Amino acid sequence: MGNGMRRLLMASYLLCAVSVGPDAAAAGAVNITRDLPRVQVLHKGKQVTIERNQDTDNMIDPDYSLTSRPCPPYCIQPMQLAHGVETIGELELLEYLRRIGKDASVLVIDSRDGDWPQRSGVIPGAVLIPWQELHPAHTEAEKIAEMLSFRFGTSHQGNLWNFENAKTLVFYCNGPWCGQSPTNIKQLLALGYPAHKIKWYRGGIQAWKQLGLTTVAP
């Protein structure tokens, strides 16, 4: 069989693969996965639809198109941030976002500061807690304790923290080169927060936007 015939057969095979089957009616759609077109989440008490941008010519925001930033502070983070802390991707994050408003034991946190959230938006369902609010060099110990107690579900017993009812916290920031959410995670671990109750979306807003996924105003 000649090369020309092989190319013709391959082209015919690919044409059949994309034009038949259960997804044929949705040809051209930009789904999240083959069987998941969109996800409904609760953001500030309102339903928001997370989906990918349907414009296949859409491009990432210029803020997230840079390949190089000064390091430090914008250094590439490891895939495994700390022992016991799970690094998750977009689909796992979506599962946590689906639980917002239904499951009080989950909190998704955007750790970014400055005007980043206003410029690029936040992931629907996330709450904005700038990283400084959990950093002892920027925030009083009493205020950090209040955050742990009233927002993260911990309790203080004498000089010790009780994490029995602590929430599962899912952190993210700007991307694999961002140290804001990693800083918060390491500080919480130092306080004794259970590692299995901390998740890290390493890709952050950069990866989220690269996939054309929905963001909302903070």
Is the Cα dihedral 27, 30, 35, 41 positive or negative?
negative
Stretches where the chain sits below pLDDT 70 are 1-27
| pLDDT confidence of residue 11 | 42
Tens-digit pLDDT profile for residues 173-184: 999 999 999 999
How many other C-beta atoms lie within 10 A of the C-beta of residue 188? Answer: 25
Could you say which DSSP state residue 153 is in? -
Helix (H, G, I), strand (E, B) or coil at 16: helix
Q: Which CATH architecture has domain 31-210?
A: 3-Layer(aba) Sandwich (3.40)
| pLDDT confidence of residue 159 | 80
Task: Please give the Cα distance from 216 to 194 (Å, whole number).
Answer: 30
Task: Please give the Cα distance from 6 to 12 (Å, whole number).
Answer: 10
DSSP states along 91-137: HHHHHHHHHTTT-TTEEEEE---TTHHHHH-B-TT-EE--GGGG-TT
| pLDDT confidence of residue 208 | 98
Residue 88 has which token pair? 């998750």
DSSP states along 32-83: SBTTB--EEEEETTEEEEE-B-S-TT----GGGT-S---TTTSPPPPSS-ST
**φ, ψ for residue 140 (rounded to 5)?**
-60, 145
Q: Which of 157, 218, 217, 150 is nearest to 192 (CA)?
A: 157
pTM: 0.87
Tens-digit pLDDT profile for residues 83-126: 999 999 999 999 999 999 999 999 999 999 999 999 999 999 99
Listed by start position, the domains of the chain span 1-29, 31-210
C-alpha dihedral, 76 to 80 to 82 to 87, nearest 10°: 100
Helix (H, G, I), strand (E, B) or coil at 189: helix
